[in-house]
Chain A
């Protein structure tokens, strides 16, 4: 199956239940700074809260203790396997 829900393929540890992970922020796409205060306020408090695909980070707290990045559909919690990536370094 290429689609998982609430199970995450950790590139280092394998498929694990979502409870093994901490949810990180949904990265905001860098915007052109027009008014630094307003942008900062928006980043701090306002949310796109997308109904659909989001790219987000999860920390595998019960395993390798590293961040991974994946794409999830917030309408269904589908996580297409191919979208998961491990941090470079």
Chain B
């Protein structure tokens, strides 16, 4: 008997595959399932299939560090992620499921004058666009997180931080399941263990997908896959501004809840939080060379353990439990890509890189609105694929190389 056994969700799988659906969504992760959920709940579109090659949430949705935050560096991103953060705050109520959502506050540590400038700037732009972030001094930092070594072992002294009180986390799997359950209850079909092997075409137009379960017609086809998105897109000759990188993390054994906030440090390149179970969760930036491998590296573990101890010395005597790796779809400008692709009837939601989990509610809601109305909602218009051709990239210092 433990408090983490799922006792509310009831997943009702379809017993057959229809020859065609109004909308076919490729990828049964958070984004794909949330899109299906909002199509069904907000727009009454239920003749929808979600095609998942593994089990739901088996990709990056089940391999991330579950952090929810909106402290980005450009107005368009702050607005979008703030909306997502607020939706997360309502999601337990909306779905009636226990998502283990907890608001923790997020400290982003500066270890230099340049770091201070960056964190002050983050606080400024966040505040201007409705996401609360304030610059805090060392005394306040110590109060928020007394475990921090303010001297950084004499090597990385802490100068200040930005503090984002709304920073939160939720249990990743439960978010996936709540969306899957909600969508399926309204008639959406989720097909696990079904791999898309090609597209059905009528001239340029995409008319469905070829799968290991046979051809499935689709009025619209939406790619919501993660790291393998370019391989999928290449099946219709579509090239995307995406590279796939490994992102690694590890957890320790469980310890009593004693660590409140989420702590991140750009200078040390690590972020640390505690799961609801009590495990300490440590992550870092993506590996540099593009790769699809799920191997966990030793140099990551070694270096990340070392750097996190410099920040939080108590971690030294905790025991590492497990390492894992996800493969992330990183866009050229480190911002997501949502919307039309130029290939008729094919839409994409990608470029979620290492920050996709926090975007699931807003990403799904906005993609659903786009699909239902055929018009791109203003909140995601800046993230359209054509921004690269239009010289309107969304370079965001607040997102690059972080969680």
Contact = CB atoms under 8 A, between A and B. Distances in A.
A76 B293 contact: yes
Contacts of A5: 293, 295
A44 B228 CA distance: 20
Given A18-B289, A23-B288, A72-B289, A47 B242 contact: yes
A22 B244 CA distance: 17
Given A17-B299, A77-B295, A45 B241 contact: yes
A49 B242 contact: yes
B240 interface: yes
Contact of B292 (A47, A48, A74): A74
Interface string A26-49: 100000000000000110111111
Contact of A47 (B241, B289, B293): B241
Given A45-B388, A56-B289, A51 B228 contact: yes
B237 to A, nearest CB: 12
A46 B293 contact: no
A89 B52 CA distance: 50
Contacts of B42: none
Given A23-B289, A74-B290, A77-B291, A48 B388 contact: no
Contacts of A82: none
B130 interface: no
Nearest to A58: B289
A15 to B, nearest CB: 14
Interface string B277-304: 0000000000011111101010100000
A45 B292 contact: no
A26 B244 CA distance: 13
B290 A19 contact: no
Interface residues of A, number: 24
A26 B291 CA distance: 12
Given A18-B289, A56-B289, A51 B332 contact: no
A49 B289 contact: no
Interface string B239-272: 1111110000000000000000000000000000
A49 B230 contact: yes
B231 interface: yes
B114 interface: no
A77 B294 CA distance: 10
Contacts of A41: 388-389
Contacts of A44: 388
B291 A46 contact: no
A6 to B, nearest CB: 6
A46 B231 contact: no
Nearest to B333: A45
B332 A74 contact: no
Contact of A51 (B288, B292, B299): B292
Given A45-B332, A51-B231, A75 B242 contact: no
A48 B229 CA distance: 11
A46 B244 CA distance: 12
A70 B177 CA distance: 43
11 contacts: A6-B297, A18-B299, A44-B388, A45-B241, A45-B332, A46-B239, A47-B242, A49-B242, A51-B230, A51-B244, A74-B292
Which A-B residue pairs are the 7 nearest by beta carbons? A49-B230, A46-B239, A45-B241, A45-B388, A23-B289, A23-B288, A77-B293
Interface of A: 5-6, 17-19, 22-23, 26, 41-42, 44-49, 51, 54, 56, 72, 74-77
Given A5-B295, A47-B239, A51-B231, 18 more contacts: A17-B299, A18-B289, A19-B299, A45-B241, A45-B388, A47-B230, A47-B242, A49-B230, A49-B242, A49-B290, A51-B228, A51-B292, A72-B289, A74-B292, A74-B293, A75-B291, A77-B291, A77-B295
